[in-house]
Amino acid sequence: MGKITDTVKVLLIVNILFFVGSQFVPATQSLFALYYPQSPNFQIWQVLTHMFMHGSFFHILFNMYALYAFGSSLEVIWGRNRFLFFYFSAGLGSALLHTAVNHFQFQAGYDALLDMGANAANINEVLTAPRNTVKGEWLSFYDAFNTPAVGASGAIYGLLVAFAIYYSEAKLMLLFLPFPIKAKYFVPLMIAGDLFFGLSGSQTGVAHWAHIGGALVGFIIAWFWKKNSFNSTRIY
């Protein structure tokens, strides 16, 4: 890790300001977090603003540390404008895949309720009920509609993948492993974990498909740029 770059510094400050503001004005969570498009809480700007919201101190701490640790090295290669394009593209790709999976889960639950003879009023009762009263088989349906997504994790996963592409031999550490792992193994291991939990439908409280969406978009862009030597033409 070297000196923090200017764009990364600005992103850190903006994220921290959003987090501090949300602690004093809790209503900002529902205003800026990303809700399911059919939710009454959804607003179009949430596709962007959710990247600056975080659910807890440790959530923002991990994301901002990763932004500092991996983002500065990539900004040095790409320059400010290309870095920002990459960062927000990964974040938007994250939101897109997360929303697509939510739609699949919501639609599956919606259709199942209709097949059981429920009407629109019955379905609305399920969606507006307290979460602890919802039966386990309907939690995915309920959460897809009601649970907002927050965090820069999608964009961060994009940066992680790009770092592994450009610095594949760099050694990184996982908290639960006592030895360093090369980036080319470390990052796929993290993504594999998200894929496992995402496919299993585990209720972990983490938007695993958002991570995968950011990683996928990050891989496509970083691989294309490196293959075409875009890093030799930095744009400021």
- Delimit the domains of the chain by residue range: 6-232
Among 82-86, 95-99, 123-127, 134-138, the least confident range: 134-138
pLDDT reading at 162 higher than 70: yes
pLDDT reading at 220 higher than 90: yes
Q: Could you tell me the pTM of the whole model?
A: 0.90
SS3 per-residue string spanning 154-217: HHHHHHHHHHHHHCCCCEECCCCCCCCEEHHHHHHHHHHHHHHHHHHCCCCCCCHHHHHHHHHH
CATH code of domain 6-232: 1.20.1540.10
